[in-house]
Amino acid sequence: MASLLHAENISKSFGPIEVLHDVSLDLRAGEVHAVIGENGAGKSTLMRILSGHLSPTEGTLTLDGRPVRFAGPVDAEAQGIVLVHQEILLAEDLTVAENVYLGREMKRFGFVDDRAMREATRAVLAELGTGIDPDIHVRDLSIADRQLVQIARALLVPHRVVAFDEPTAVLTPIEAESLFTIIRKLRAQGVAVLYISHRLNEVKAIADRVTVLRDGRLVANRDIEGLEPLEMARLMVGRDMSKLYPEKPATSSDEIVLTVRHFSVPGHVEDASFALRRGEILGFGGLIGAGRTELFEGLLGLRPGQGSIALRGSSVRFKDAREAMAAGIVYLSEDRKGKGLLLQQNLRVNLTLAALEKFVRGAVVNKAAEEAALDSAIRDFDIRARRKDMLAGQLSGGNQQKLLLAKMMLADPQIVIIDEPTRGVDIGTKQQIYTFIATLAEQGRSVIVISSEMQELIGLCHRVLVMRNGTIAGEVADSNLSEDAIVFLATGVHEERAAKIAAGHA
Amino acid sequence: QDKKNVTIGVSIPAATHGWTGGVVYHAQEAAKQLEKTYPGLKVVVKTSPDGASQANALDDLTAQKIDALVVLPFNSDELTDPVRAVKKRGTFITVVDRGLKDASIQDIYVAGNNPEFGRVAGKYMADNLKSGNVVVFRGIPTVIDEERVVNFEKALEGSGVKVIDKQYANWNRDDAFRVMQDYLSKHPKIDAVWASDDDMALGVLEAIRQGKREDIKFVLGGAGMKDMVKRVMDGDKMIPADVSYPPAMIATAMNVTAAQFFTDAPMRGTYVLNAQLITKDNAKEHYFPNSPF
Amino acid sequence: MTETALRSTSQPRRFSLDMRALSPFIALIVLMIAGALINPDFLTASNLLNVVTRSAFIAIIAVGATFVISGGGLDLSVGSMAALIAGAMILILNRAGGADASTLLLGMGAALVLGALCGLANGLIVTFGRIEPFIVTLGTMGIFRSLVIWLAAGGTITLRNADLRELYRPAYFGTVAGIPVPILVFLAAAAIGAILLYKTSFGRHVIAIGSNEDVARYSGVPIWRVRTLTYVIQGICVAIAVLVYVPRLGSATPTTGLLWELQAITAVVVGGTALRGGIGRIWGTVAGAVILELVANIMVLSNFVSEFLVGAVQGAIIIIAMLVQRSLQRGR
Amino acid sequence: MTETALRSTSQPRRFSLDMRALSPFIALIVLMIAGALINPDFLTASNLLNVVTRSAFIAIIAVGATFVISGGGLDLSVGSMAALIAGAMILILNRAGGADASTLLLGMGAALVLGALCGLANGLIVTFGRIEPFIVTLGTMGIFRSLVIWLAAGGTITLRNADLRELYRPAYFGTVAGIPVPILVFLAAAAIGAILLYKTSFGRHVIAIGSNEDVARYSGVPIWRVRTLTYVIQGICVAIAVLVYVPRLGSATPTTGLLWELQAITAVVVGGTALRGGIGRIWGTVAGAVILELVANIMVLSNFVSEFLVGAVQGAIIIIAMLVQRSLQRGR
Ligand SMILES: Nc1ncnc2c1ncn2[C@@H]1O[C@H](COP(=O)(O)OP(=O)(O)OP(=O)(O)O)[C@@H](O)[C@H]1O
Ligand SMILES: Nc1ncnc2c1ncn2[C@@H]1O[C@H](COP(=O)(O)OP(=O)(O)OP(=O)(O)O)[C@@H](O)[C@H]1O
Ligand SMILES: [Mg+2]
Ligand SMILES: [Mg+2]
């Protein structure tokens, strides 16, 4: 098969740091080409080079056999190469339809044709299995919905190469399944698809070929035939990855630390009640928009909500996150860019922000102690920062997640609520995070894991509560802990049928 | 007479409205003309937008080693000390218009007379209206404005003329227009307007013209802007008079200061330029068609 | 299933959006009621027409400011620019000498061109120099103001030809169907502004740049061109305001347009546009401009505020008006 | 592997960071050279000391503004606040009547308390009312200004007791070890400001709020308290500036402090602090304040600029200074 887009000996340096070294990649029409690698391996950087966002320090790109240099992403788009970014790149103040058509508005008599754009947007969103209202402002959407909007935007550009940078990290399996349907359709149309994911099962299911990067270098380029996820993980991480989930620590006691009764968050959650035990890992599952995030934001005083909360038997009420933290509860937001990290500040400032009092000596912040904490955080959480003084925004996505974990752990909480703990995290790091969560439970702390990855909930949690439409639909535990049980509670229907609904065949 | 090298610094407010604009113009003209008349004389004119900057400008002028300073202070209270500091270096001081708190600082004082300005206007109102309602336009809140208004009201005491409203219009035409429109809505009967300044009078006139109000007999401005003097001269009914407050006083001050250095006559003392009532009879003496003001 | 859930949540948001857009108008109505209570003369047609007519300059300028601000910029130079354009226009009219419509049109054309050029200068320095618009326009504010003072040689620039003034007067004092011309002009400016901002791709791009410049750039929005154009529009709006301003008093002084920039920005913000960019509300801006003028009017009409304290009450009313708006928006 | 990379690469980055922080100082030096070329009197110690001394008011206020702005806020009321504090302080001194140090200390203490209260008012309205700081402080600007006019009954508030004035004079005119007191005060204010902003958790929180309020909120930063405190610090800084200002002219007028807010913000921005928040550069701010005063000084010392055009040249110089800074930062 002829190569459509060919990258030859690409190297890329940011200042003196080389993040890609001598990487070649050959992309053919009508194939799905997966690029995998650890966090910080350089996948996103490679995508940005291929789509004109960055220019390579060395090496050449060839399109249809002719060497090209993209003046920028707009130029690349004009030549049919679009990228769905790993981070959400949308204008929050514009509506969904306005974002989808930004920069190439449909016009009628010289004016923007909002109706046509709205309808086209609605159609492509429906194809993605979502009913997002095209007139909603992006700022009012959840991250998952924003991701879908980004994908919709890419699909509405005339394209020959579509690169997806971790599109499913924020999607639930059902949305992911509709995306795969679309990807298969693209492949059938002769479009070349680049696909990055840390979910290796997905890669196995969708890809034709796989390129593996490690530390900015090309490690392998294989056909999917005969390449199993376990082997992919080994190629990425360089060690054997057969055991992803740690042993579930035995819940040490029946002591209940947190009781929530009849809690409501106006517009999002109604009448939620649950209890959390000491040393327990409690999962929260459900579809996007089920209101899990809002429930916990409401509990921690981050948004208005009513209901009763009892912490170790005594009734509490948190006005803001500060009070909750003082009471030993921390919440790690799913939106690490918008609510988790100060992207324009360095790692040290980010790390100590939530627990700054611990670093105050006399009246001033002790920088040396902060540096020491950063060193140990980099070590303990395996944060791959090439330099200690880089900005949080320059970390790769997975490493940002690790930094956020490290930051919140500095507050030494008794109850940890982690929203989407492994979103965008590579398999090696995932294992580290799971082990870490298990360790927390072993230490007698309680952990709540909100996750859209059912495997994760099953492998990690003692119990899983499933939310649907703002209410807690039920609980699965022990032997009942299965994907089908969770999907049933989350949707009210069984898995295959849910997938069909999502794909619009029902 | 041997050739002397003399530098005179002139510090005046920036041209932020008609009258100060006139001051700047006259200062410049006088500077040009004096430098021509007295070879060896250098005149440096500096404008400042507020009291603090004027104090700064005085510092900077002294840094240039001036022999004499002609200053029209923004504000008597604020600039007394800074001018005193200049005086301490042995500089010859001429103060214009607004007297310093400490009269011993100045060698020459060319005085405008703000209380008199208000009194003349008030007396004119009392004499010509006998009784009736007057609305008052205030300038920018400053001592000058306060002295004028207080004495205006004092002059009305005992007459049948009543001040029914006072508002600040900042010596600005647009603000005066706005306030006059509102006065017209608010007061069904206004007999005369004391605009207290010719710039403001112009705005007032437009508002009256637009409102088509017949009850207002006249508008009294002040300062002697050439357009207004011309109207007085031409017998405009709405502008029967004006009160002079000539910006050219700065030129007078510069002239006597230069004379101090280049002629033998000692020039110390006070020169009072009193506010005068300009009427049809004496308007010619106050009309300078070439002045920008 | 998911469908219905999504639908049902979008309803209340739609409503709150409307509240946000409506709140300046509600504040306006509350003020009118307050005014009527304070002084019965307030509600006379002539007083209200006066007030709205007077707000025309700021409203027209603020329409331009809505573009600049919603695009993430700021223009502090508009007041000085107005003075400069007015001065230059009058000088041109005086130089041209005639007293016919064609002279007038020449002067008006020159004003518009000058406005566009001043705006272009601001825009180019901001975009190419990559300097904070605050600093750029503070600099040009000084430059424009100085140029007027220099043109006026410290004095006043007056339209000398009396016939021309008479010819031109109706542009401020005239009425069409009982509505003063300035009101018609500012409604037209707002309507055109609204179409530009809401119905064209240019307007969409302005909002996108103000919302997130990076996103706009990746989406192929011509950042520099759009941003520069917002300043040009601002300049043209200032020129239009000047066209209505000059016939009123027939002169320009060094104090013309002083602090108009603050008033224009206040009108924009009171109208619901966010200073950080990304939201633009043309009609709210117009309401904001009227609110400002109304507050000043009520101050003069009321009898219980000492002239010394007018500014204090005015400041307090604006803050309270904003508080009312905020609580309207929250208590949906 | 990763470790070594960390070490070896930190060098050049450090350098580029320094360029950004250094550029206001480079602009300062360039201006000094220009000044020396224009007038030899410029480089005399007495002239330079004068200029730096004069810049003290704005510099001290701008130190406070650095906190407000880097925390994502804005304070337009500082000029009026300065006038109000100066007026109130003088009235208190007049009322107290004495001419001894304790009277003076009483007055100074009252000024500081009043400054903190004014700042607190701004801060509380901004945080609890959730109104754009632009509008809030524009409102309080009007309120403070009116209160001065009212206190002064339209005139001037003057320190009457001549002995007290003599006692107080050294606070502006005195020197310690040859350095004028105002310079010492502003260096002290800047030093304390720098420690607060760079070394304390409060300063860290200010920057966090200015960078991303949501992140700060989710991290348990007490947003309201920190934000309100920035305005209080601003108020105290204004009061300190007033303490140095009053002995200079011995009076306060309704025009005292006019446009200081613009100057303070300009100093902050010229110093490298971004108006959108998240970056604060105290020492840059101080350099910015000196730059502004230096430009004005050069204007007075140079004799080839018509006084009508001083403003234009000043505006142009500031824009050019920013352009120079930008090109320094880019061409690292
Ligand atoms: N602008 C930048 N300046 C400096 N270093 C950068 C910059 N952008 C990325 N890097 C570094 O380049 C390396 C590769 O980053 P990249 O985002 O390509 O990783 P990735 O493979 O996509 O990781 P992830 O799976 O976490 O998304 C990382 O070490 C990152 O810190
Ligand atoms: N700022 C907002 N204002 C109004 N509605 C919002 C806002 N953010 C999210 N929503 C809506 O609230 C609902 C729930 O949000 P969200 O998707 O975060 O729930 P979740 O169950 O926590 O999902 P996730 O699986 O992403 O954690 C969605 O319908 C979303 O569109
Ligand atoms: Mg990546
Ligand atoms: Mg969520």
A247 CB-near residues (< 8 Å, 6+ apart): A438
| Least confident interval from A20-34, A380-394, D78-92, D215-229 | A380-394
CA distance B204 to D322: 44
Q: Which residue has the higher pLDDT, B172 or D115?
A: D115
Q: What is the pLDDT of residues D22-40, one digit of tens each?
A: 888 988 998 899 889 888 8
> Is residue A368 in a domain?
no
pLDDT of residue B100: 84
pLDDT of residue D119: 97
CA distance D222 to chain A (A): 7
| Least confident interval from A226-235, A335-344, A494-503 | A494-503
- Residues A224, A301 within the same domain: no
pLDDT of residue B263: 83
CB C53 within 8 A of CB C180: yes
Q: What is the pLDDT of residues A399-449, one digit of tens each?
A: 898 999 999 999 889 999 999 888 888 888 888 889 889 999 998 899 999
> Is residue A233 in a domain?
yes
- Residues A273, A229 within the same domain: no
| pTM, rounded to two decimals | 0.90
CB of A334 shorter than 6 A to ligand 2 = yes
pLDDT of residue A502: 56
Task: Determine whether D120 is exposed, middle or buried from the number of CB atoms within 10 Å of its CB (0-12, 13-18, 19+).
Answer: middle
- Residues A439, A296 within the same domain: yes
- Residues A264, A121 within the same domain: no
Confidence of residue A504 (pLDDT cuts 50, 70, 90): low
CB of A450 shorter than 6 A to ligand 2 = yes
Per-residue pLDDT, averaged over A349-362, amounts to: 90
- Residues A138, A211 within the same domain: yes
- Residues A229, A274 within the same domain: no
> Is residue A155 in a domain?
yes
Q: How many domains does chain A have?
A: 2
Q: What is the pLDDT of residues A138-187, one digit of tens each?
A: 988 888 889 899 999 988 888 899 999 988 887 877 788 888 999 999 99
- The answer to whether residue C299 scores a pLDDT higher than 80 is yes
CB–CB of C307 and B167 under 8 A? Answer: yes
pLDDT of residue C182: 94
pLDDT of residue D10: 37
> Reduced to 3 states, what is the DSSP secondary structure of residue A501?
helix
CA distance C237 to C65: 9
| Least confident interval from A104-108, A245-249, B80-84, C268-272 | A245-249
> Reduced to 3 states, what is the DSSP secondary structure of residue A241?
coil
Residue C232 phi/psi, 5-degree rounding, is: -65, -45
- The answer to whether residue C7 scores a pLDDT higher than 70 is no
CB contact burial D38-59 (16+ within 10 A = b; e otherwise): bbeebeeeebbbbbbbbbbbbb
Per-residue pLDDT, averaged over A189-203, amounts to: 91
> Is residue A103 in a domain?
yes
Task: Determine whether B97 is exposed, middle or buried from the number of CB atoms within 10 Å of its CB (0-12, 13-18, 19+).
Answer: buried
CA B77 to each of CA B50, B60, B74, C251, D98: distance values in angstroms, whole numbers, following the listed order: 13, 20, 9, 34, 20
- Residues A186, A296 within the same domain: no
* DSSP codes, B243-256: EB--TTHHHHHHHH
- Residues A48, A105 within the same domain: yes
Q: Running DSSP on this structure, what letter comes out for residue B241?
A: -
Mutate which of A38, A386, A396, A422 for ligand 1? The one with the most ligand atoms within 8 Å of its CB, which is: A396
> Is residue A164 in a domain?
yes
* Single-letter amino acid, residue C228: T
* DSSP codes, A39-99: TTSSHHHHHHHHTTSS--SEEEEEETTEEE--SSHHHHHHTTEEEE-SS----TTSBHHHH
D158 CB-near residues (< 8 Å, 6+ apart): B77, B101, D90, D250, D251
CA distance A343 to A363: 26
pLDDT of residue D330: 64
Q: Which of A170, A204, A237 is the last residue of a domain?
A: A237
pLDDT of residue D98: 81
CB contact burial A290-319 (16+ within 10 A = b; e otherwise): bbbbbbbbbbbbbbebebebebeeeeeebe
- Count of alpha carbons within 13 angstroms of residue D27, beta-carbon side: 34
CB–CB of C3 and A104 under 8 A? Answer: no
Strand pairing class (A58-63; A32-37): unpaired
CB of A383 shorter than 6 A to ligand 2 = no
- Contact partners for chain C, using 3 or more CB pairs closer than 8 A, are A, B, D
Per-residue pLDDT, averaged over A88-113, amounts to: 90
Per-residue pLDDT, averaged over C217-235, amounts to: 94
Q: Whose CA is nearest to atom 28 of ligand 1?
A: A40
CB C51 within 8 A of CB C36: no
CA distance C77 to D198: 34
Q: Give the number of residues written for chain D.
A: 332
CA B56 to each of CA A283, B61, B106, D63: distance values in angstroms, whole numbers, following the listed order: 70, 9, 19, 21
**Of A44, A195, A150, residue with least CA distance to C219:** A150
pLDDT of residue C18: 65
Percent of chain A with pLDDT strictly greater than 70: 97
Question: In D, which residues are within 8 Å of A364 by CB distance?
Answer: 195, 199-200
pLDDT of residue B118: 93
- Contact partners for chain B, using 3 or more CB pairs closer than 8 A, are C, D
> Is residue A303 in a domain?
yes
- Residues A192, A227 within the same domain: yes
A278 CB-near residues (< 8 Å, 6+ apart): A251, A252, A253, A255, A256, A257, A444, A445, A446
Helix, strand and coil content of chain C, in percent to the nearest 5, comes to 80, 0, 20
- Residues A292, A435 within the same domain: yes
Strand pairing class (A314-316; A306-311): antiparallel
| Least confident interval from A96-100, B136-140, C63-67, D253-257 | D253-257
Confidence of residue A495 (pLDDT cuts 50, 70, 90): low
Q: Give the residue numbers in C contacting B (CB under 8 Å), as ranges.
A: 39, 41-42, 44, 46-47, 50, 54, 149, 152-156, 158, 173, 248-249, 251, 253-256, 258, 296-297, 300-301, 307-308, 310
* DSSP codes, B36-52: HHSTTEEEEEEEESSHH
The partner residue sitting opposite D208, judged by closest CB among A17, A353, A357, is A353
Confidence of residue C65 (pLDDT cuts 50, 70, 90): very high
Per-residue pLDDT, averaged over C173-178, amounts to: 91
CB D193 within 8 A of CB D39: no
- Residues A232, A261 within the same domain: no
* Single-letter amino acid, residue A390: M
Closest residue of chain D to B16, computed from CA coordinates: D308
pLDDT of residue D8: 34
CB A88 within 8 A of CB C205: no
**Of C136, B51, C139, B14, residue with least CA distance to D57:** B51
CA distance A152 to A161: 15
* Single-letter amino acid, residue A288: I
What are the structural domains of chain C?
A: 51-330 (1.10.3470)
Task: Kindly report the CATH number assigned to the domain that includes residue A451.
Answer: 3.40.50.300
**Of A489, A461, A494, A487, residue with least CA distance to A475:** A489
Task: Determine whether A110 is exposed, middle or buried from the number of CB atoms within 10 Å of its CB (0-12, 13-18, 19+).
Answer: exposed
| Least confident interval from A86-100, A199-213, A229-243 | A229-243
CA distance A320 to C208: 32
- The answer to whether residue C2 scores a pLDDT higher than 50 is no
Handedness of CA A175, A181, A183, A186 (dihedral sign): negative
**Of C315, C278, C263, residue with least CA distance to C75:** C263
> Is residue A398 in a domain?
no
Question: In D, which residues are within 8 Å of A322 by CB distance?
Answer: 220-222
Distance in Å, CA B217 to ligand 2 centroid: 71
pLDDT of residue A505: 47
Residue C282 phi/psi, 5-degree rounding, is: -60, -50
CA distance C51 to B1: 66
Q: Count CB-CB contacts under 10 A for residue B22.
A: 28
CA distance B247 to B26: 7
The partner residue sitting opposite C212, judged by closest CB among A74, A92, A103, is A92
Closest residue of chain B to D297, computed from CA coordinates: B60
Confidence of residue C48 (pLDDT cuts 50, 70, 90): very high
Alpha helices in B130-270 (DSSP H): 143-156, 173-186, 198-211, 226-234, 249-262
Q: Which residues pair with A163 in a beta bridge?
A: A83, A194
Q: What is the pLDDT of residues B205-228, one digit of tens each?
A: 989 988 888 899 999 998 888 888
Confidence of residue C4 (pLDDT cuts 50, 70, 90): very low
Structure tokens at C99: 């007293």
CA distance A447 to B134: 79
Q: Count CB-CB contacts under 10 A for residue B235.
A: 10
Strand pairing class (B242-243; B277-278): antiparallel
Tell me the three-class secondary structure of A139-157, residue by residue: HHCCHHHHHHHHHHHHHHC
pLDDT of residue B78: 83
> Is residue A363 in a domain?
no
pLDDT of residue B145: 87
Mean pLDDT of chain C: 88
- Residues A230, A267 within the same domain: no
Domain range for residue A438? 257-328+413-503
- The answer to whether residue A462 scores a pLDDT higher than 70 is yes
Max avg pLDDT among B76-85, B88-97, C117-126, C253-262: C117-126
- Count of alpha carbons within 13 angstroms of residue C124, beta-carbon side: 6
Angle at C190 between CA C188 and CA C192, to 5 degrees: 70
Q: Is C306 an 8 Å CB contact of chain D? A: yes
Q: Which residues pair with A472 in a beta bridge?
A: A467
pLDDT of residue C12: 41
CA C217 to each of CA A74, B77, C143, C210: distance values in angstroms, whole numbers, following the listed order: 8, 57, 32, 11
CA distance D255 to A426: 64
CB–CB of A356 and D13 under 8 A? Answer: no
Tell me the three-class secondary structure of A166-214, residue by residue: CHHHHCCHHHHHHHHHHHHHHHHCCCEEEEECCCHHHHHHHCCEEEEEE
**Of A128, A127, A100, residue with least CA distance to A114:** A100
CB of A452 shorter than 6 A to ligand 2 = yes
Which residue positions in chain D have pLDDT lower than 70?
1-18, 329-332
Residue D273 phi/psi, 5-degree rounding, is: -80, 135
CB A14 within 8 A of CB A21: no
Q: Is B82 an 8 Å CB contact of chain D? A: yes
> Reduced to 3 states, what is the DSSP secondary structure of residue A330?
strand
**Of B43, D275, B90, residue with least CA distance to C69:** D275
